[in-house]
A and B are shown apart, each in its own frame.
Chain A
Amino acid sequence: MSWESVIPNVLAGDAKAVACPPMESEEFAGFYERSARALWAYLARVSTDPALADDLMQESYVRFLGASRPEEGEVAARRYLFRIATNLLRDHWRRPRQASIEEIPEEFFQARDESGQSDSRAVLGPAMKLMRPRDRQLLWLAYAEGYSHREIAEITGLASASIRLLLFRARHKIARLLREQDVNDGRRL
C-alpha cells in the first residue's frame, strides 16, 4: 500500500503537472541498474572526486523520484536524470564561494583522488584536469554518453546554438592536450 492511498488526493493539485506516475520500487530498481554506472562515471569524471560522485548520485536519484518526470520513456528519463545531476554539480561548485561557475579558477576543481589510477584515467585524467568544468561536462555528454547537441542543451541548460561552438573548442583543446601527453609519455619512455 503506498502512502498516496493513505492520504488520498493529496497531490490532486499537482495532477496536471505530473506527466508520469511515480516509479514503483521494481521499476526503479531496473532503471537504477541500467543507469547508475553511467551516471556515476559522469559525476566522478566531471567532478574528479569519487566521494562527491557517490553523494551526488544518491541525491540525483532521490530528486528524480520526487520530481514529475517526462513520459517519453527511459531515454528521456535518463536524460532528465543527467540534467538533475548536472544541476547538482553546478550547485556544488557554486556553493563554497558564492560565485559563478565561470569565475571559479580551475585549480579549485583539480582532482583530489590520486589513488587507483587505471589506464584510461592515466590517459584522460590529466587532460581533463586542465579543462574547465563546463567543458568537461560537454565533452563527457557528447563523447562518452553520445548525446546530441540538442540533448546536451537540454541537460546543461545552455543554448542549443552555442553547444556546437563550445564543444568544438573543448574538443580541440583536449585533443591537443592528449597529443601533448602522448608526446611527453613517449619521451619519458
Chain B
Amino acid sequence: MTLFGCAREKEVAELVRLGQWPQAFPAELRAHVSLCRACGELVLVSGAFQRARVEAGTAARLEAAGPLWWRAQLLRRNAAIERIRKPILGAEIFALTITLLVAVGFLASEAGKVHGWLSWFEDLPKALHFEALWPSMPTSVDGNVWLVVPVLALLALLSGVVVYFASEKQ
C-alpha cells in the first residue's frame, strides 16, 4: 500500500457510503477489496464511521430551532446597536466640548462685568428688604451680604442634618 492508495478507492468509498457493502458490491469488486489492503482498510473504517454517524444522529437531543434563531437575532441587534452607539458617543463628546468652549468664551468676554455683578449682589438684600423680614438684625449687618449668606447656608445645612437624623430614627 502506498500513500497514494488504490485507484479504486473512490469507487469503493462511494458504494460504502450508499450502504451497498457487502451485499450489493459486484463480485469482482468484493474480490478486489479482499486482496487490496487500502480498499480493505477503507471499507472497514468507512463502514464503522457510517454506522456511528447514523446511531449518533438518532441519539441527538435537539433543541427547537426557534429559540436559537431568536437568540441569534438578539445578538445581531445588540451588535448593531453597539456599532451605532460609538458614533453617537463621539457626537455627544464633540457637542459637550463645543458647549464648554462657548461657555468659557462667553465667561471670558463677560469677565469685565464681574465687578458690576458683585455690586448687584451686595445691593440684593436692600432690594428684597431683608431688614423688614428680620427686624432684630443688627444695624451693622444691614447691607452686608457676606455675613447674611453664610448664616442662611448654615441654617439650611443644620435643618437638613436635623431632618436626616429624624428620618433615620423613624
Binding site for B on A (CB under 8 A): 2-4, 7, 10-11, 13, 22-23, 25, 28-29, 32-33, 36-38, 40-41, 44-45, 50, 54, 58, 61-62, 64-66, 116, 118-121, 123-124, 127, 139-140, 143-146, 164-165, 168, 171-172, 174-175, 178-179
Contact = CB atoms under 8 A, between A and B. Distances in A.
Contact of A168 (B3, B68, B71, B84): B3
A133 to B, nearest CB: 16
A24 to B, nearest CB: 9
Given A36-B62, A37-B62, A174-B45, A144 B80 contact: no
Contacts of B66: 25, 29
Nearest to A9: B84
A168 B4 CA distance: 9
Contacts, number: 129
Interface of B is mostly: helix
B95 interface: no
Interface in B98-126: none
B60 A58 contact: no
B45 A175 contact: yes
Contact of A41 (B53, B65, B71, B81): B53
Interface residues on B, range: 35 or more
Contacts of A139: 45, 49
30 contacts: A4-B80, A7-B77, A7-B81, A7-B84, A25-B66, A28-B68, A29-B69, A32-B65, A36-B62, A37-B57, A37-B60, A40-B56, A40-B60, A54-B61, A64-B72, A65-B73, A118-B55, A120-B52, A123-B52, A124-B49, A143-B45, A143-B48, A143-B49, A144-B52, A144-B53, A146-B13, A146-B17, A164-B3, A171-B45, A178-B48
